[in-house]
């Protein structure tokens, strides 16, 4: 069992990328010679490979396709790093193909972030890191945590932005602003059953609630609460509508730190929401804003 | 132009493209490249941090995709996780061999940006991703960061140990427990 686990962990670490050069070579030999190990690697590639969606796409230089094509045809291009524009004389067919597949895109320099912005980001990240898990007795009862956030993407170097969540937001609702700060939280009870997806536009203090897995209950309404150590009682963020998407402007009255650090909880209340203004049922789902992308982007490395 | 040419590609369309590429369909290869290049470049650039290295790895990756498309198994991978695995593997080989590519070397490669969402981006919040995120959410905060940092930046245990100011053996233990926990949580 332990030997199995050892191989399993080796396969997982190989895929994760934490092995050193020698260990990688060892794993690669096993992939070639041990079908069970190779299968374990394939499973891990699929498991962890989903994380790719959180990586920002970056447009590669057009010359890459040209070089790949040349190598596909068995012609190694000269080791010339300068991107070569496809010329009319390169042969009409290949030129047309290359142009169609990789429209030339001029390099677009990323404007360096103002240093003040960097400091701001770093501070905020530190706050995130220091975020206390517990926000009182109610929080202690919360089960699942998490998910994803997009952290002031406008202040990050372009390739480091986790863009997908932003796009998720776009799917959820057309938010016109190009790149506001957005955060996402998944409210869940069990690991495998996210019930609500919260999306925050911090600049506008608007929150979008998407019902993912929660069942409608006749005569009842789901109500969303903000739980913060700053307030003695949970604050209602309103009833989550019957639609798949519910827009919530109530966050406007809270500051960014509170929004960042709060726990979001859902209870099942009488239809129309809690009559008392306080939760009348146990917390069904809860979650916090936390990052799945490394927070170290804006920090100096060790 | 890219959008008009490739449109929105579903996972099913990608599977179809990969199988066409396996038969040597050059035009299918172009479409596959157009649909996936920005994602793969983003992945390898994060790990390599240098445009010249990323360019080489991209070439190797797509050449391998061209040659090995026949080995793609839709039962065991999705096209994009398969392609990302090839790209990351190649990038990790390169970065491990280049010891001088240290973690201090942050971002000189970050020159070219895309504000044009790749065709893949629109339908990316898959059920698989939701499950994985949920399982990651069950890890302690620090271990979650460890796993994600390793995945996205391609850092070795040694580099992670420096980053987390923790002995490499402890990192190894954390990784082991976290990965086994993820496997158990995913139940597959």
A78-135 tens-digit pLDDT:
444 444 333 333 333 333 343 344 444 444 333 333 333 333 333 333 333 333 333 3
A234-270 tens-digit pLDDT:
888 888 876 666 776 667 777 777 777 788 888 888 8
Q: For residue A200, which of A144, A158, A258, A119 has the smallest C-alpha distance?
A: A258
Q: What are the residue ranges of helices labelled H in A78-217? A: 92-101, 115-129, 137-140, 164-172
Chain B residues whose beta carbon lies within 8 Å of the beta carbon of residue A13: 175, 179
Q: Please state which of the ranges A267-271, B8-12, B50-54, B101-105 shows the lowest mean pLDDT.
A: B101-105
User: Is A168 at the interface with chain B, CB within 8 A?
Assistant: yes
How far is the C-alpha of A143 from the C-alpha of A188, rounded, in Å?
8
Q: Is B108 helix (H, G, I), strand (E, B) or coil?
A: coil
User: Is B47 at the interface with chain A, CB within 8 A?
Assistant: yes
Nearest CA in chain A to B113: A58
User: Is B25 at the interface with chain A, CB within 8 A?
Assistant: no
How big is the A-B interface in CB pairs under 8 Å?
279
Q: How confident is the model at residue A232 (pLDDT cuts 50, 70, 90)?
A: confident
Is B27–A97 a contact, with Cβ atoms under 8 angstroms apart? yes
More confident position, A174 or A36: A36
Pairing of strands A194-201, A245-248: unpaired
- Whole-structure pTM value: 0.54
Task: Select from A101, A147, A177, A194 the residue whose CB has the most chain B CBs within 10 Å, as the one to mutate to test that interface.
Answer: A101
| pLDDT at A291 exceeding the cut of 80 | no
E strand intervals along chain B = none
Chain B residues whose beta carbon lies within 8 Å of the beta carbon of residue A105: 112
* B32 token code pair: 């596959």
Chain B residues whose beta carbon lies within 8 Å of the beta carbon of residue A287: 137
User: Is B183 at the interface with chain A, CB within 8 A?
Assistant: yes
Chain B residues whose beta carbon lies within 8 Å of the beta carbon of residue A50: 81, 126, 128-129, 132
Contact (CB, 8 A) for B46 and A51: no
Does the complex come out with an ipTM higher than 0.90?
no
User: Is A120 at the interface with chain B, CB within 8 A?
Assistant: no
pLDDT given at position B87: 97
Is B54–A60 a contact, with Cβ atoms under 8 angstroms apart? yes
Rg (C-alpha) for chain B, rounded Å, is: 18
B66-81 tens-digit pLDDT:
999 999 998 888 999 9
Is B113–A158 a contact, with Cβ atoms under 8 angstroms apart? yes
Is A53–B37 a contact, with Cβ atoms under 8 angstroms apart? no
- Cross-strand partners of A185: A198
- Closest CB from B38, B76, B179 relative to A58: B38
């Amino acid at each position: 069992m332990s030997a199995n686990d050892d191989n399993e962990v080796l396969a997982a670490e190989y895929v994760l990328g934490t092995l050193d050069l020698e260990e990688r070579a060892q794993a690669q030999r096993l992939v070639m010679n041990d079908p069970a190990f190779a299968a374990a690697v394939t499973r891990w590639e699929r498991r962890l490979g989903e994380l790719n969606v959180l990586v920002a796409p970056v447009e590669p230089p057009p010359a890459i396709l040209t070089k790949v094509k040349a190598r596909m045809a068995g012609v190694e291009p000269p080791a010339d790093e300068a991107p070569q524009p496809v010329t009319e004389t390169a042969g009409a067919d290949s030129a047309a193909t290359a142009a169609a597949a990789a429209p030339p895109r001029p390099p677009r320099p990323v404007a360096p972030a103002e240093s003040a912005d960097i400091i701001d980001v770093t501070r905020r990240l530190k706050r995130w890191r220091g975020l206390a898990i517990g926000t009182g007795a109610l929080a202690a009862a919360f089960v699942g945590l998490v998910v994803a956030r997009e952290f002031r993407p406008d202040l990050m170097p372009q390739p480091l932005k986790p863009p997908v969540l932003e796009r998720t937001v776009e799917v959820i609702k057309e938010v016109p602003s190009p790149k506001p700060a957005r955060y996402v939280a998944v409210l869940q009870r069990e690991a495998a059953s996210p019930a609500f997806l919260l999306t925050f536009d911090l600049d506008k203090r608007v929150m979008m609630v998407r019902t993912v897995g929660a069942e409608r209950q006749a005569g009842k309404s789901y109500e969303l609460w903000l739980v913060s150590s700053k307030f003695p009682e949970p604050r209602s963020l309103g009833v989550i509508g019957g639609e798949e998407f519910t827009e919530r402007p109530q966050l406007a009255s809270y500051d960014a730190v509170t929004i960042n650090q709060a726990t979001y909880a859902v209870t099942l209340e009488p239809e129309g929401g809690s009559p008392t203004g306080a939760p009348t049922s146990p917390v069904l789902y809860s979650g916090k804003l936390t990052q799945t992308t490394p927070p170290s982007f804006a920090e100096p490395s060790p | 132009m890219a959008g008009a040419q490739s449109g929105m590609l579903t996972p099913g369309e990608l599977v179809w493209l990969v199988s066409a590429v396996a038969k040597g369909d050059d035009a299918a290869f172009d479409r596959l490249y157009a649909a996936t290049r920005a994602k793969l470049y983003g992945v390898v650039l994060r790990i390599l941090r240098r445009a010249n290295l990323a360019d080489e790895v991209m070439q190797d990756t797509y050449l391998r995709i061209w040659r090995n498309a026949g080995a793609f198994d839709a039962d065991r991978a999705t096209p994009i996780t398969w392609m990302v695995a090839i790209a990351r593997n190649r990038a990790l080989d390169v970065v491990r061999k280049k010891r001088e590519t240290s973690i201090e070397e942050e971002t000189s490669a970050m020159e070219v940006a895309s504000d044009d969402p790749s065709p893949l981006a629109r339908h990316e919040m898959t059920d698989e991703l939701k499950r994985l995120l949920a399982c990651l959410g069950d890890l302690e905060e620090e271990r979650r960061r460890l796993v994600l940092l390793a995945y996205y930046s391609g850092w070795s245990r040694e580099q992670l140990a420096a980053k987390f100011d923790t002995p490499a053996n402890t990192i190894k233990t954390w990784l082991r427990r976290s990965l086994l926990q993820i496997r158990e949580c995913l139940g597959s």
